[in-house]
Amino acid sequence: MQFINNYRGIAILLIVLIHAIGTINHDDSAILLGVGLLLDNSTILFVVVAGYLFSSLSTNFDYLKFIKHKFKIIIIPYFFVSIPAVFIYMSGLKDSHYWIDMNWFTSLNVIYQYLYLMGSGAHLVTLWFIPMIIPFYLFSPGIIYIKNKQWLDAFFVLSLIPALWFGRPEFSENNLIWSVYFLPAYLFGMLLFQRPRIYEELAKYSGLLLVGYIVIYLGLSWDAAFSSSVDLLWKIVLSVIMMAYSKRYLAKKNKWLNMFARLSFYLFFVHGYFIGAIRMLHSQYFGIEVSGLFAASASFATTLILSLLSFVIIKLILKDKSKIFVGL
């Protein structure tokens, strides 16, 4: 399944890219506007591959072993990675937030402050993902039961109803709605594993399909971006095309994509710190508003390099003990 690893590597790179682009002024760049439209909500691609991989490992499913593994590689690192961001808010070093009412937040006692941040992932732009996906892990026996009973198709269709109704929450106050929104993507990933012909039949034409998707998507969304509900369906379609493309053109091991795939959760964890730091340095200390295509490229490259460098430093310093911080 090397092509799936390559797909996952691409998915995490796209997520880092869209977050990097989001920190700068587009400066009327049609390219950045187009990339921003295409990659918005691209976490769906990552969730699809998570469902695919879960299904591939569920043949001899051991719930306790599964939960223990997820606790070690995701939950514990989440607590450690969160420490700097949580401290910044709870200490008052940062007294503003994109959507939290900080007067309300500071009125809470320290225990509730901590639980609120950790339960919502609001302390760093990328960390909402962890509270969102935890219910999928906790209720995995039920998902396996649905799969074994051959009810996956029906439950995927049913899961679309509340997902499309509620849409993607703008903020992280209600993580249950996040989980409801992304559940169809997770189930669809499982369906793709069960029925590989869905993407294998398209592999031969995947290059043309990808170009066609980009043209049609941009043509329809250029003047007014799709709602998150409609975009969920578009990104599910894109996940099929990308999987077909990976099957056709990325079936062999690619050392770079393989590395990014292996580090995908760590990159998801930490890249928000570097994006925030780059934005703060330019806007507050250097008095420069970064903008344009060059700035976006520099922000993406710098974020990626610093994220990888932080991983190497942690591994060198902590060696085997680094697993509790990076999950690897």
Give the model confidence (pLDDT) of 295-324 as tens digits: 788 889 999 999 999 999 998 988 877 777
Average pLDDT over residues 274-281: 80
pLDDT at 286 over 60: no
Structure tokens belonging to residue 151: 């009810």
Burial of 80 (0-12, 13-18, 19+ CB in 10 A): middle
Across 188-208, b (16+ Cβ under 10 Å) vs e yields bbbbbbeeeeebeebbeebee
C-alpha separations of 41 from 14, 38, 227, 281 in Å: 10, 8, 10, 26
Q: Where are the domains of the chain?
A: 1-40+256-328, 43-195
Structure tokens belonging to residue 111: 């225990």
Average pLDDT over residues 12-27: 83
Q: Return the pLDDT at 33.
A: 87
Amino acid, res. 3: F
pTM here is 0.93
52-92 tens-digit pLDDT:
999 988 888 899 999 999 998 899 999 999 999 999 999 98
Instruction: Collect contacts of 292-298 with beta carbons under 8 A, ≥24 apart.
Output: 292/24, 292/25, 292/26, 292/27, 292/29, 292/32, 293/29, 293/31, 293/32, 295/24, 295/25, 295/27, 296/20, 296/21, 296/24, 296/29, 296/32
176-226 tens-digit pLDDT:
889 999 999 999 999 999 999 999 999 999 999 999 999 999 999 998 889
Residue with the bigger pLDDT between 278 and 5: it is: 5
Lowest pLDDT segment from 115-119, 170-174, 249-253: 170-174
